[in-house]
A and B are shown apart, each in its own frame.
Chain A
Amino acid sequence: MSRRWLIALLAAVLLQPVVLGGLFVYSQYPLWVGTEVRLATVPVDPRDLFRGQYVRLNYALSRQPLPEMELPRAGDPVFILLRRDGALWRSGGVRLREPDAERLFLRGTIDRVSGGELHIRYGIEAWFAAPEEALRLERELADGGVARVRIAPDGRAALVAVEAGGDSAP
């Protein structure tokens, strides 16, 4: 057994913690540098075979009108400009190209285009919780809740909390 092979093997073992560390930093980044906004949401409760129980969150922002003079396709990135409306933040326009950094915007991916609307995923549609907690959230927030989200300058968002909110139906 050669020394070089052993070193390569140890490097292969070390690769896995390095990947996990990278994933950790990637996931933590919006929470470190992001601006906090509150988005109206309605939860439903499925189970993910890979990651366990979670509350799926529907947002008003998840469906947006087709931008004019554009031909969006499923899988394309999409950017939603945000405008403040009282305590909540709502859509202030849809772009297929990344807006200027001065404006707060959410980066998403077009899931599908149907009925004259874009169906968009932002990566903030799942709130993982223990099974009982997931059911409790679904029950308490059935009429709508608020998702506290931090948005990094590049538009990537991370969920901070899901809580009850008064006029929050999406």
Chain B
Amino acid sequence: MLSWMRKNLLRRETRRWVDEGLVEPFQAERILSRYGTSLNDAGPSALGLLTGLAGLFAGLALLLLVSANWEQLPRLARFAGLVTLTAVLNGWGVLRLARVGGGGGLLFLGGFAYGASIMLTGQMYHLGEHFPNGLLLWALGLVPLTVLSTGRLLALQGLAVAVAWMLLEYRFAAPWLMPLFLAVAFWVARRRRVAGLALAALAATAVWLNLMLAWVYATDFGPQAQEGMISFNLGLLVLAGALAARPGWWNAGVGNWMPRLTVLAILPFTFVDGWEHYLAYAWTWLDPGLWAALVALLAAALLGRPLVALAVAVLLIAVHTGGVPDQALVWAVAANLLLLLLAMHWMRRGLLDGEGGLYVTGLIAILTLALLRYLDLIGGYLGAAGLFLVMAALLFVAGRYWRRREVDS
């Protein structure tokens, strides 16, 4: 499935062919229908995005006005004004929604006015207590209106506020209410087919799962980040890959990010130090991170990535049961070669599919790898030289192999 930007380019090009008489309109329609678009489809417009950003800026201005704590107006008058503004904006938004199916921008601004009212109440009564509760009230208050209006901007605002609450709250308590906000965001993303919102909700889910795992590792000093979380995130990465490979309106957003996420996930493992820490602290079979990773890998296998999921599961089990810090160099070399092979694969696919982003990701991954290994001298001067020679051989052989396949085809 082509991205909306590529569809737009294809539509524009096809219209030009029709105008120049190269193809008949019915032929152009048949070509475009193969890619899920049509000559009459409207092109993308920046209006929605810019209006949303304008709403965001207006909302931030409102929050800063309240923060300014200006004394010219009595606080009660300011509070009454903000509550009235909230009611008017939301009422107007609902009216527009009921009449013409619009009003998303007004509800978005109404959400900001509601948040500003909570903020002003905290200010009026000098509520120093646990201010994440204010963010929680804000996010909770947006839930019913978001569900009923399915407003994209309102859903984004609710998710952003909920994520802020989650990040501030988790040090004091596990953020158990987060699934409610995630469910609302996913529901709106699905109903309105907004890939960006789905991607944001997926990212927030990954962060939430990590924070909950930190609470599984908690001690008397609160939640703890442990090495087992690395195992879990590898499992999540494979799960994200499985989701991205499935057809659907939402996977374009995830798919574009997968190679970059994979580079970020593997890069720390290309260092010997990283492996020494990981192998020293990953707790055998008892590690909750291992079990959480295996659950994520099982989900990935069920979603269509059984081989990758199995390979990563075997790797994690090997690390958690037989891994010792003395093996760090071997594991690091393997990670370097794995990243090189993946990067070559992305460059090749980028060239074949015309995916510039994929090609550049592969190229940058290889160059980054070269720079890092040149600087950190993995295995000393001779070891690093050996690794560079192996990588050079791999690149050369892959280049020759692909060239021969191109000639054959």
Contacts and interface: CB of A to CB of B under 8 A. Distances in A.
B137 A15 contact: no
Given A19-B141, A51-B119, A130-B71, A27 B94 contact: no
16 contacts: A8-B144, A12-B144, A13-B87, A15-B144, A15-B145, A16-B141, A19-B118, A28-B125, A52-B123, A53-B67, A54-B123, A75-B172, A125-B128, A130-B69, A133-B71, A159-B126
Interface of A: 1, 5-6, 8-13, 15-17, 19-20, 23-24, 27-28, 31, 48, 50-54, 56-57, 73-75, 109, 112-113, 121-131, 133, 158-159
Contacts of B67: 48, 51-53
Contacts of B126: 54, 124, 126-128, 158-159
Contacts, number: 134
Interface of A is mostly: mixed
Interface string B84-111: 0011001100100110000000000010
Contact of A16 (B114, B135, B172, B220): B114
B405 interface: no
Given A13-B87, A16-B114, A23 B121 contact: yes
Contacts of A10: 94
Contacts of B173: 75
Given A51-B122, A73-B220, A124-B128, 15 more contacts: A9-B148, A12-B148, A13-B94, A17-B83, A48-B131, A50-B122, A50-B131, A51-B67, A51-B134, A52-B123, A75-B172, A122-B129, A128-B124, A130-B69, A159-B125
A31 B125 CA distance: 9
Contacts of B186: none
A27 B83 contact: no
Contacts of A56: 128
Interface in B278-306: none
Contacts of B63: 50
A9 B110 CA distance: 14
Contact of B127 (A16, A19, A123): A123
Contact of B121 (A6, A27, A73, A112): A27
A5 B130 contact: no
Contact of A74 (B121, B137, B222): B222
A58 to B, nearest CB: 11
A9 B114 CA distance: 16
Interface of B is mostly: helix
A12 B140 CA distance: 11
B79 interface: yes
B122 A20 contact: no
A101 B119 CA distance: 32
Contacts of B91: 13
Interface string B366-405: 0000000000000000000000000000000000000000
A21 B119 CA distance: 13
Contacts of B141: 15-16, 19
Interface string B134-169: 110100110011011100000000000000000000
Contacts of B70: 130
A27 B145 contact: no
Contacts of A12: 144-145, 147-149
Contacts of A124: 126, 128
B128 A20 contact: no
A20 B83 contact: yes
- Give the 5 A-B residue pairs with the shortest CB-CB distance, closest first: A123-B129, A52-B67, A126-B128, A12-B144, A27-B125
A17 B87 contact: yes
Contact of B98 (A1, A23, A133): A1
Nearest to B68: A52
Contacts of A31: 125
B90 to A, nearest CB: 4
A20 B78 CA distance: 13
